[in-house]
Structure 1
Amino acid sequence: MRYPVQVYTGTIKDYPGSRPSAIAKYQREGELLLTPLGLEGDSQAEVGIHGGPDRALCHYPREHYEAWAQSFPEQAGLFAPPALGENLSTTGLTERNVHIGDIFCWGDTLIQVTQPRSPCFKLNFHFGISDFSRQIQETGRCGWLYRVVSPGKVYTDKPLELVSRVSDISVYQAAAIAWHMPFDDEQYHLLLSAAGLSASWTKTLQKRRLTGKIEDFSHRLWGKKS
């Protein structure tokens, strides 16, 4: 299957009342260079938690915006690509039919799905919804991230094409295991077996297995510890 894609990049901006962010992106056209760290012209504000080789690109399904607009009619005008800061926007690909480790061909490059996108508190600020990040996490409408397996030139008029599936774990299932289930060592082992899983998720799951505890999500979701 081939999936037409819209492409977005952005630079870091200051936001009074919140921390700097590169969430505000604009559509690109034509030929772009895709490096191991992402698209030329794209930035991440806090590289410790955003960006890097395992998080070089962010993909968000376009069809989710309609559901968000229905849930939050007062903010309905905000819900259109690339409002969640995504680099890639498509229809037909969602967390339920994209798997950890999936490899897509795009232009002259290959990209691989590494993890669900972990929503953070900055989304609450940008949408004016106090618990939006939590709702993204709970619904599983989170999108996903890629590493660049083979860098090169990409073209905004070229579709994404799935060329290899190397695990049985969907992005939705990965999110459910990590965020929705009580401590379950067997499920963590299952997710760890998914080829292509990001280093950060591997580290988190292994730490849970060693400690027998699930980490606190509140700092990521609300910007503070409980």
Structure 2
Amino acid sequence: MTTITLLTGRAAPLPGSDLKSGIDKRPVAGPLMLGPEGFAGDEQADRRVHGGPEKAVHHYPFEHYAAWREELGLGASEPGVSHPRTPVGYFDMKEADRLLGRAGAFGENISTVGMTEEDVAVGDVFRLGGALVQVSQGRQPCWKLSRRFGVENMARRVQESGRTGWYYRVLQPGLVAPGDAFELIDRMAPDWTLRRLWQALYVDRLNMAELQGIATLEVLAEGWRRYAIRRLESGRVEDWGKRLEGHA
């Protein structure tokens, strides 16, 4: 059991763009209703690829923030202090420095310490305040992360790191408040950790035995099962360029 920081956000223009995104999440002070498509007051700008029942809630581990500060050359000091820029892949490290000073940088609705992709599995069921949620899939980063951070290859960095976060579907709607206990109730496929899923889809990408397992993993979101089915049928990996680079 752990406790949560709860965050929501409205759709707003991305930095330097008129394209909107709901990625800017801020901590909330009071309870919110969690329904089948997410928290009351939370928004996603492009519903074709964000939100929906299989992406109702996004969870990102806060312990990843220290790793990102180190990787981006920001050090461990307080946000706002000047730091050396990394030699490649940056636009404005001051923005990354600011974002990594608090939860919400990655567009997450839930921030915790003590849960990572190493130990959370697809199908895990949690009691979240008055609601029940189930891990549905990992997060596929898109180019909007790069624009948000001012780091030109941030989306690709997130994918390659495996520090992606994950999504929940809502099994039982209910009221959720900041600081509510977050308790593991059941495990439907404990061998299929999010780390294993990431390894199969983004590292050992044509491991047919793993792809076969993913294709038949019923608790995994249908869209992710289709990736495995297409690779099994074609023997090829899908192109990630548009998702990772997009308009950034």
Deviation readout 1:154-207 (Å, 9 max, x if unpaired)? 222311100101111111111111111131221111223434201110122212
Consecutive unaligned residues of structure 1, counting only runs of 5 or more, are none
2:172 aligns with 150
- Corresponding residue for residue 4 of structure 1: 3
Using structure 1 for the length normalisation, give the TM-score: 0.94
Distance 2:149 2:30 in 1: 30
Distance (Å, rounded) in 1 between the aligned partners of 2:20 and 2:171: 29
Structure 2 unaligned segments of length 5 or more: list them.
75-92
1:162-177 pair list within 5 angstroms: 162-167=184-189, 168-177=191-200
Q: SS where residue 97 of structure 1 aligns?
A: coil
Give TM-score scaled by structure 2 length: 0.86
**Are the equivalent residues in 1 in contact too, given 2:126–2:133 (CA < 8 A)?**
yes
Higher CA-based Rg: 2
Q: In structure 2, what is the equivalent of residue 186 of structure 1?
A: 209
C-alpha spacing 1:207/1:23, structure 2 compared with 1 (3 Å): same
Match of 1:78 among 69, 79, 99: 99
Cα distance between partner residues in 2 of 1:12 and 1:116: 22
1:103 corresponding residue in structure 2: 125
State the one-letter code of the partner of 2:30: G
Matched, 1:210 2:209: no
* Compared CA separation, residues 111 and 102, structure 1 to 2 (3 A): same
Q: CA deviation at 1:35?
A: 0.5
User: Match for residue 83 of structure 2?
Assistant: none
Q: CA deviation at 1:29?
A: 2.3
Cα displacement (A) at 1:131: 0.8
Tell me if the contact between 1:31 and 1:154 (Cα under 8 Å) persists in the aligned partners: yes
- Residues paired across the two proteins, number: 223
Say whether 1:135 aligns with 2:157: yes
CA RMSD of aligned residues (A): 1.4
1: distance between equivalents of 2:214 and 2:127?
A: 24
Q: CA offsets, 1:45-92, max 9 Å, x none? A: 111111110000000000101111111114333213101110000000
SS of 1:98's equivalent?
A: coil
Contact 2:158/2:164, CA 8 A, preserved across alignment? yes
Q: Deviations over 1:77-122 (max 9, x none)?
A: 3213101110000000000010011000011211000111100011
Residue 36 of structure 1: CA displacement?
Answer: 0.2
Report the Cα offset of residue 25 of structure 1.
Answer: 1.4
Counterpart Cα distance in 2 of 1:182 and 1:106: 34
Q: Distance in 1 between matches of 2:179 and 2:17?
A: 38
The percent of aligned pairs where both chains have the same amino acid is 35
